[in-house]
Chains A and B, each alone.
Chain A
Amino acid sequence: MKPPPFEYDAPRTAEETTALLAEHGDEAKILAGGQSLVPLLNFRLARPERLIDINNVAELEYLRLEDESLRIGALVRHSGLERSEQVARAVPLLHEAVRLVGHVQIRNRGTVGGSAAHADPAAELPVAFTALDAVFLVRSSRGERTLGASEFFVTHLTTALEPDELLVEISLPVPPAHTGSAFVEFARRHGDFALGGAAALVTLNEEGTCAAASIALLAAAPTPLRAAAAEAMLRGRAVDDRSAREAAALAVADIEPTGDIHGSAGYRRDLIEALVRRALLTAASRAKECT
C-alpha cells in the first residue's frame, strides 16, 4: 500500500496550476485534500505520472454569500463548509449533507472541489449540489466556462472537466423563503459511504401545498440523479405520507443502482425509495416550521 513513483508540483496560484495542467494535463492529477486520491495511489489503482498539489493555492479557498447566491471556492475544506454559520442558515441542506461526509479527520482535509471533481455518486456533496442547481466554474489556460450539475457529472468517477481544466468554484442559488430541506442517507456505519440516500427541497406556497420540489438521489445511478418526474408530480399537492410515497415510487421507477457486497441493486432501490419518502416528509415539515 505505497504509491508508485510520481512527479510532484506545488503551484501557488490558480494561474500556475492551469499552466501546469496545460503542459501535463493528460498524465497529471490534481491533489487537494487527498481523501480519495491518496488511497487510490496507495492501492496502485491510480498511477498518475504527476501530482499537482493545489493545497497552497490560497485564492481558491473562500466562501461568499452575496446576492442570494453562495459561492464556494474549490479548496474550501468540508469542515469549513460545515462550520460556516452563513451556510447553515442560508443553505441548511448543504450543512446537513456535509456533516454526513466521512469523519471529522476526513472533513478537515477533504475539499469541496475535490469531492465534486471525484464525482463519486455515493458522495454527499455532488448530490446536494445536484439538488441545489449548483453551477460549476472551470478554468484552463484557454479560458473559463460554467456547467450545470447534469453536465458536470458525466458518469461514475468522471466529470466533464478536460485534462487541462481546473474546477475553481461551485456556486448555487440560496433556496427561496418557505423552503424546507432534508438530506437523508443510510450507511452501514457512521461515516461510511452510504448505500443510498436522498436530498429533498420543498418550497410551500401560501396554501401550504408544494410550490416547487427538488429531489436528488445518492448512489442510485452512475451520477447524482434528479427525480424530475417526482418533482413535477408534487407541484400543487400537499406533501403528506401519500404523496411522498407516490413521489418516492416515481423517483426510483427507472433507477438501476449498482449492487455490491453491502447491498444488491434491488435492496438499494427499495432503500432509496424509503429514503426519498423520508426526505420529502422531513423537508415539508421543516418548510412548515419556517412559514
Chain B
Amino acid sequence: MHAVVAAGDLPPDLPAIPTRMFTDGSLDEYLQHPLARDVVRYAGEPVAVVVADSRYAAEDAAELIEVDYEPLPVVLEPDLALKPEAPRVHERTAGNRAGGFTIEWGDVEHELERAALVVERRLHCGRHAAVPLETRGLVAEVDDLSGVLTVYGAAKIPHVNRGILARLLSWPEEQVRLVEMHVGGGFGARGEFYPEDYLIPYCAIQLGRPVAWSEDREEHLRACNHSREQVHDVVLALDADGRFLALCDRFFNNTGAYIRTHGLVVPAMTAALLPGPYRWPAFRCEVNQVVTNKTPAGTYRAPGRFEANFVRERMIDLAARELGLDPIDLRQRNFVEAADMPFPTGTHTDGHPVVYDSGDYRRLLELTLGRFDLAARRRWCEQAEGPRKRGVGTAVFVEKSGIGRWDYARVEITSTGMVRVSSGAASVGQGVDTVLAQICADGLGVDYDRISVVHGDTAVVPDGMGAFGSRATTLGGSAVLLSAQALRARLLDLASEHLEISPDDLLIKGDRIVARGAEGTAVALADLYRLARPARALERDVRPFLSEEAFFVSEDMTFPYGVHFAAVEVDVETGQVSVAAYTVGYDVGRAINPTLVEGQIVGGTAQGVGGALLEELVYDDEGQLAAGSFVDYLLPTAAEAPAVDVLVTEDEPTFRNPLGAKGAGEGGAAAVGAALANAVANALRAEPTQLPLTPERVVRLAREGEA
C-alpha cells in the first residue's frame, strides 16, 4: 500500500469543486469537497483514498479503515426536504432550497378563472442516470523534467476541467495537461469534474509516480451524477375549444447532497423548454433546486427535458381525455405556427431569452403520424385480447442544441499535403470526428479521406468547449467551416501567386490545386506547404505555414424539434409493457451525416425506454441506495430496446450558424417517458403520473382503469 488520504491530509485551503455554468452565488454553500469533512451527506460520498499496487490490495486495505459514523436523520424526497421540520442537509445553510427562480407571464389566475377545464396533477419523474457501460477512469502522472501534470481519461470538456483542476491545485494552467480518451459512453455524466478528478492527480503529485484509477460498477452507481428526479405540481387550463390558456408548474428538482458542476442547468432546462411547441397566454414555472441525502445529480442526455416533456405531454393527454378530444387534435389546436418564427417563448436560460429559431411543428407531426401509420395502429389496438391490452401514445417537443456560446477550430495542411483539423469539441462516441471531417471537406474542397481530426488534448488544442448539450456539430462544426473556408481562400491565393492564374480559375482537387479546364497546370498541396515553410515564406514576406484558425460564437441556441409515437402492449396481470412499435420524427435543420443522426436517435430512444420502464435509483428509508448493482439497476438490453423507426427531416434549417444544422444528440431520449406513459394510459384507460412504469405500478393502473 502506498498511501491513504483523508480530508485532513488535503490542503486546508482546498476550495470546493466549483460550478461551471448556470450558477449564482447562492449555490456556493452547497458545493462538494473532494473528500467529506466531518459530515457525510450521501451513501457513496468519498471519505478516503487508498493507493496500492492492485485493486485487490486496495480493497483489502480500505476494509481496515475505521470510520466512526454517527447516524443523522436523512431527507430523501425533494418536496419533503423543503418542509420547515426537514433536517438540513448542509447544517450551516438557511435550508435545503439551494437555488431557484420563477418564470412568469400573462395573468395565470385570470386564465384559471375563465377556463372551461382545469387539470391539476402531481407528476413524478424517477431518479435514474446515464450509466455509460464503460465506467470512469484516470491515469495521472507528473513529468519529472517539465513538472507538467498529465491526466489521461478526460472527456467531454477537457479544457474547462483543466481550468478547474489548476484552480484546485493552485497550479498555473500551463502546468496541467488533460488528455481525452475514447470513451465507452458519456451521455452528460462522464467528463464532468468529480472528486476523483482532483484526488487521483493529487495522489500522483504526492507520491511522485503515476496513479491509475478505474471505477467499478458499484462505485459508479453511487458516485457518478444521477439525474431526472423531479416532482411537479402542474395545472393546465383550457377553454371549451381546447385552446391552452395557462400552464402553471411548481417543481422540485432533487439534486442530491451537493451542487455539482452543472449548477442549476437541469431544472433551468426544464423550465426553459416546458412550453414546448405550444402557445401559452399565461405561464408560470417555479423552479426549486433542492438538496437531499442522495448522490448528487447532474445532466443526462436531454437533461430537464425528458422530465418537462413527460409533464407537459402527459397533462395534454389528460386534458384531451376530459374534453373528449383526440390528443393529436388538441395538440394541433395549440401549435406555434411556422409563420411565427423566430418565436420568443417567454422563458430563458441562464438569463438569456429562449427564442425558437425555426420550426414547422404541424408538418412534422403530420409526417411522423403518417410514417407511424396511426390509423392502422389504432385498429391494431382494437384487436387486443385477454389480459394483453394495447395502446398508442404520442409526444411533441422542442429540443435545444448548441449551448456554451463558442468554439475553436484550426485547419492546416501538413507536410504530406494532408489536412489536419484541430477542434475544441470532444468525442463522446457520437462520431464527431467524422462530422468535422465532412464539414472541413466541404469548406476546403478537399477529399474527406485526406482529413484527420484531433481534439481533446489540451497540449495540442489551445482551447475549446467540448461536447455537451448537442453542441459539437453546431458550434464546433461551424468553427471548422469558418477556418476551412479561410484556409481555402489562402491556399487559392498562394496557388494563384505560384501559378500566375486568378484564384477564381483555380480549384482544389485531390492533393493538388488545379486550373479549371487545364488540370495539367497544378500545384500539389505538399508543394504549397514547402513554399509556406518559414525560410521560403519569410523571404517573400508571407506568413509561414498553411494554417487558419477560427472561433465561432453564437449567443443563441438552436431548436430542433421532434415527435414520438409509441404503440405498446400491456399485460395487465404481470404489468409488463412491451413496445410494439416506435417512431421518432426529428427535424435537425440539416443532417451533416444522416446515419449518425439516426444512430443518435435510436440510442437515445433506447435510453429513454430505460428511464420510462426500467431504470430507477431506489433508496431505502435510511438513504442507502437499494439499486446499487446491475442486478437491481435495470438498463434496457437488446431484448427490451424497441426497433426504432427514425424519420430525419431537414425542413427548417437554422439561421444561427452557417451550417443550418441543429444538434441531434438528445431528441431520441427527450420524449420517450412522455410517449410511453401516454401509450400505457391509452391501453389501460388509466392515468399514469409516475415514471418509471414498473410492473407493479402498471398493474395498479390497470386496476384503476377497470374500476
Contact A270 B699 (CB under 8 A): yes
Which residues in B have their C-beta under 8 angstroms from that of A4? 59-60, 63
| List of A residues within 8 angstroms of B352 by Cβ | none
Chain A window 1-18, contacts with chain B (Cβ cutoff 8 Å), 1 for yes, 0 for no: 111110000000000000
Restricting to B595-622, which residues have a CB under 8 Å from any CB of A?
A: 614, 616, 618
Structural contact, B637 and A186, CB atoms closer than 8 A = no
Contact between B60 and A186, CB atoms less than 8 A apart: no
- Interface pair B637/A191, CB less than 8 Å apart: yes
Inter-chain contact A43/B218, CB cutoff 8 Å: yes
* Residue of A whose beta carbon sits closest to that of B639: A190
Number of interface residues of A (CB under 8 A): 25
Q: A1-B218, A261-B627 are in contact. Are A267 and B56 (CB under 8 A)?
A: no
Contact indicator B699/A261 (Cβ below 8 Å): no
Question: Across the interface, do A189 and B696 meet the contact criterion of CB distance under 8 Å?
Answer: no
Contact A192 B634 (CB under 8 A): yes
Q: Quick check: is A271 within 8 A (CB to CB) of the other chain?
A: yes
Q: Mark B611-649, 1 if CB is under 8 A from A, else 0.
A: 000101010000000110101101011011000000000
Q: Which of B55, B574, B632, B695 has the most chain A CB atoms closer than 10 A to its own CB?
A: B574
- Asked whether A148 is an interface residue with its Cβ less than 8 Å from the other chain, the reply is no
Q: Which B residues from 572 to 610 make CB contacts under 8 A with A?
A: 573-576
Interface assignment of B690: CB less than 8 Å from any CB of chain A: no
- Determine the distance from Cα of A186 to Cα of B216 in the docked complex, in whole angstroms: 29
Pairwise interchain contact A267-B60, C-beta atoms closer than 8 A: no
Which residues of chain B have C-beta atoms less than 8 A from A1's C-beta? Answer: 59, 216-218
Residue of B nearest to A193 (CB): B631
CB-based contact A274/B216 at 8 Å:
no
Contact check, A274 vs B636: say whether CB atoms are below 8 A apart: no
Contacting residue for B639 out of A5, A189, A264, A275, CB 8 A: A189
Chain B, interface SS category: loop
Q: What CA separation (Å) do A4 and B61 show in the bound complex? A: 10
Closest approach, in angstroms, between the C-beta of A106 and any C-beta of chain B? 12
Give the docked Cα–Cα distance between A4 and B616 (Å).
30
Cβ-defined contact, B634 with A2, below 8 A:
no
Q: Cβ of A271: which chain B residues have Cβ within 8 Å of it?
A: 573-575, 695, 699
Chain A's closest residue to B218 (CB) is A1
Is the CB–CB distance between B637 and A195 below 8 Å? no
Q: How far is the CB of A99 from chain B (nearest CB, A)?
A: 13
Query: Which B residues are in CB contact (< 8 Å) with A261?
Result: 616, 618, 626-627, 632
Tell whether A262 is near chain B: CB-to-CB under 8 Å.
yes
Partner of B637 from A190, A267, A274, A275 at Cβ < 8 Å: A190
B573 touches A274 (CB 8 A): yes
How far apart sit A1 and B220, CA to CA, in the bound complex (Å)? 11
- Interface flag for A263 (CB, 8 Å): yes
Which of chain A's residues has its CB closest to B573's CB? A274
Q: Which residue of B lies closest to A263 (CB)?
A: B696
Which residues of chain B are within 8 angstroms of A44 by Cβ–Cβ distance? 59, 63
A186 to B576, alpha carbons, bound, how many Å?
8
1/0 contact trace for A187-219 toward B, CB 8 Å?
011111101000000000000000000000000
B640 with A262: CB separation less than 8 A: no
B387 within 8 Å of A (CB atoms) = yes
Within 8 A of B (CB), among A134-168: none
Question: Known contacts A5-B60, A261-B627, A263-B696; is A186 also within 8 Å of B574 by CB?
Answer: yes
In the bound complex, how far is the Cα of B433 from the Cα of A83, in angstroms? 45
Interface residues in B254-290 (C-beta closer than 8 Å to A): none
A191 to B630, CA, bound (A): 12
CB distance from A170 to the nearest CB of B (A): 26
**CA A267 to CA B56, docked complex, whole Å:** 41
A264 to B216, CA, bound (A): 30
A254 to B55, CA, bound (A): 47
Can you name 5 A-B residue pairings with CB atoms under 8 Å?
A: A5-B56, A5-B60, A43-B629, A261-B627, A274-B574
4 new A-B contacts, CB < 8 A, other than A1-B217, A39-B631, A262-B696, are A2-B56, A4-B63, A44-B59, A188-B694
Interface residues of A (CB under 8 A from B): 1-5, 39, 43-44, 186, 188-193, 195, 261-264, 267, 270-271, 274-275
Closest 5 CB pairs between A and B? Answer: A190-B639, A274-B573, A186-B574, A267-B696, A1-B216
B residues with a Cβ closer than 8 A to A are 55-56, 59-60, 63, 216-218, 387, 573-576, 614, 616, 618, 626-627, 629, 631-632, 634, 636-637, 639-640, 694-696, 699
